[in-house]
Amino acid sequence: MANSYLQRTLSSGNRKKFTISAWVKRSKLGAQQIILNTQDDGSNQAGLQFLAGDTLNFYSAIGGTYYQLVTNRVFRDPHAWYHIVAHYDTTDSTQGDRIKLYVNGVRETSFSTETYPTQDYDTFWNQNKKHQIGAYGDGAGLFFEGYMSHVAFVDNAALTPTSFGETESTSGIWKFKTPAGITWGTNGFHIKFENSGNLGLDSSGNSNNFTTNGGLTQSVDTPSINWVTFSPLFNSGSGQVGYERANTRAGTSGGASYLSMFPTTGKWFYEFHFNAAGSNQDNGVGFWSVPEAQTINFYTGGFKGIVWKYAGNVYVNGSNNAISSDSWTSGDIISIAMDMDNSTVTFYKNGSAATNLSNYSFPFTEREAITVGIIDGASASAQDGIFDFNSGANGTFGGRKTAGGNSDANGQGNFSMAVPSGYYALNTKNLNTYG
């Protein structure tokens, strides 16, 4: 959602009692980012946001007097969805219950800043002013970077997280559930982001639709099915790693970038689109043992893994191997089919198996510690030496290609190339079933 947001001018609603619920998946850490906001200026505003220290802040200010909760807990997992609920009720006789914050169904109780409004205080929220989802003020900045789903506001009711989520019985994981039986109130809304032609469509029945601003795009990555991306948490090497497009685009300089999760069993398929303005022959894709990848150079004998380089050479366990393979260039699509049960892999270029890299046996035994990623390249911001990753959720590779319309053995995903029989896309639904 970078540089994109939703906006609506509300009517005058209940400023003493309301509920905010939002499902978010972060892609950029260490930066102040707005989830929801309304403001006149710095002294008169209200919002729900991540701060630069990755803490969560729910606040309201009138005339420079702030009432807010800032968590001690940090939220630095870009791989998973967070469900955030802000409960506001100044009619409550108990001061410490007038503002409540919940994350994934659990109430936050430890705060670095903890100030509560007086009883029956009218917050800056929910009045006849512009309200934004994903930006500060009227598109002024502090854009949320990542994914959002099921952003809801309930006017005139202070609800708990169980109205919007529940604990999954077998895994114990907090999961989304469809809100039911809710009286939304005058300004209430439920933005699902399900209508690709109208991402700000309100599904509450109130027709409180929001207007989209910027290049807001729809994704199949949702709280119900979480798709694999690059991980900004696991990089190695001395070079810089840059990420764009909600961690589906990455480029490095003298380092490596890995996927956010990877199974130890099952059969999995995924794709990389390579985009390079230059001719850096150190660009490559492959898989390797995680412990070595954190500390050992990719081109030494201590490294355990296989890397298929841009120029066509293949490095196996840190050495330039005699395996002949195809070179690739800007615009090529590199696909990988990994059979974790039989410890074999097939590399593809533009849908055809690479020379001598079909059903290739893992060059090491530490199958339980495998990760997959890219190496070397230039910075993502320079748009040179960039890899776009598609787990099935990024079928156009961020707009670089036309989606191929190929799905996996479960009918999921949108791949450029045909998926081999019996292989699956990398998402939590498939991982829970086949991983």
What is residue 3's predicted lDDT score, i.e. its pLDDT?
Answer: 83
Of 155, 181, 213, the residue that ends a domain is: 213
Q: Is residue 222 part of a domain?
A: no
On whether the CB atoms of residues 372 and 336 are closer than 8 A, the answer is yes
| Domain identity same for 276 and 195 | no
Mean pLDDT of 106-124: 97
Mean pLDDT of 380-400: 81
Q: Is residue 271 part of a domain?
A: yes
User: In which residue are the tokens 């296989």 written?
Assistant: 306
The candidate with the shortest Cα–Cα distance to 372, out of 359, 358, 390, 385, is 390
- Give the whole-number percent of the chain exceeding pLDDT 90: 69
What is residue 95's predicted lDDT score, i.e. its pLDDT?
Answer: 97
Is residue 149 predicted with pLDDT exceeding 60?
A: yes
| Domain identity same for 240 and 139 | no
| Domain identity same for 242 and 187 | no
The candidate with the shortest Cα–Cα distance to 241, out of 260, 257, 264, 261, is 257
| Domain identity same for 195 and 239 | no
Let me know how long the chain is.
Answer: 435
CA atoms within 13 A on the CB side of 196: 3
What is residue 137's predicted lDDT score, i.e. its pLDDT?
Answer: 84
Looking at residue 336, which CATH number applies to its domain? Answer: 2.60.120.920
pLDDT in tens, 217-255: 899 999 999 999 988 887 665 555 678 888 998 876 666
pLDDT in tens, 402-423: 999 999 999 999 999 999 999 9
What is residue 154's predicted lDDT score, i.e. its pLDDT?
Answer: 98
Mean pLDDT of 358-378: 78
pLDDT in tens, 157-196: 999 999 999 999 888 899 999 999 999 999 999 999 999 9
Mean pLDDT of 282-291: 79
Burial profile 181-212: b = 16 or more Cβ within 10 angstroms, e = fewer: ebebbebbbbbbbeeeeebbbbbbebebbbeb
Q: Is residue 428 part of a domain?
A: yes
Q: How confident is the model at residue 383 (pLDDT cuts 50, 70, 90)?
A: very low
| Domain identity same for 289 and 198 | no
| Domain identity same for 250 and 127 | no
- Give the whole-number percent of the chain exceeding pLDDT 70: 90
Domain tally for the chain?
2
Beta bridge mates, 406 = 415
Q: How confident is the model at residue 50 (pLDDT cuts 50, 70, 90)?
A: very high
Mean pLDDT of 191-203: 96
Looking at residue 196, which CATH number applies to its domain? Answer: 2.60.120.200
Q: Is residue 218 part of a domain?
A: no
Phi, psi of 37 (to 5 degrees): -160, 150
Of 213, 241, 268, the residue that ends a domain is: 213
| Domain identity same for 23 and 55 | yes
Mean pLDDT of 110-119: 98
More confident residue, 236 or 401: 401
Query: Residue 356, class by beta-carbon neighbours within 10 Å (0-12 exposed, 13-18 middle, 19+ buried)?
Result: middle
Q: How confident is the model at residue 8 (pLDDT cuts 50, 70, 90)?
A: very high
| Domain identity same for 260 and 186 | no
| Domain identity same for 87 and 153 | yes
Q: Is residue 143 part of a domain?
A: yes
| Domain identity same for 257 and 175 | no
Q: Is residue 310 part of a domain?
A: yes
Q: Find all residues with CB under 8 Å of 208, minimum gap 6, and list them.
A: 8, 10, 187, 188, 189, 202
What is residue 240's predicted lDDT score, i.e. its pLDDT?
Answer: 53
pTM, 2 dp: 0.90
| Domain identity same for 124 and 201 | yes
Helices and strands in the chain: count of H runs, count of E runs: 2, 31
Is residue 382 predicted with pLDDT exceeding 50?
A: no
Is residue 270 predicted with pLDDT exceeding 90?
A: yes
Of 153, 184, 213, the residue that ends a domain is: 213
What is residue 29's predicted lDDT score, i.e. its pLDDT?
Answer: 93
Tell me the average pLDDT of the chain.
Answer: 89
Mean pLDDT of 335-360: 95
Q: Is residue 223 part of a domain?
A: no
What is residue 91's predicted lDDT score, i.e. its pLDDT?
Answer: 98
Give residue 83's domain range: 5-213
Query: Residue 143, class by beta-carbon neighbours within 10 Å (0-12 exposed, 13-18 middle, 19+ buried)?
Result: buried
What is residue 114's predicted lDDT score, i.e. its pLDDT?
Answer: 98
What is residue 384's predicted lDDT score, i.e. its pLDDT?
Answer: 54
| Domain identity same for 179 and 242 | no
Mean pLDDT of 356-364: 92
Mean pLDDT of 32-39: 97
Is residue 26 predicted with pLDDT exceeding 90?
A: yes
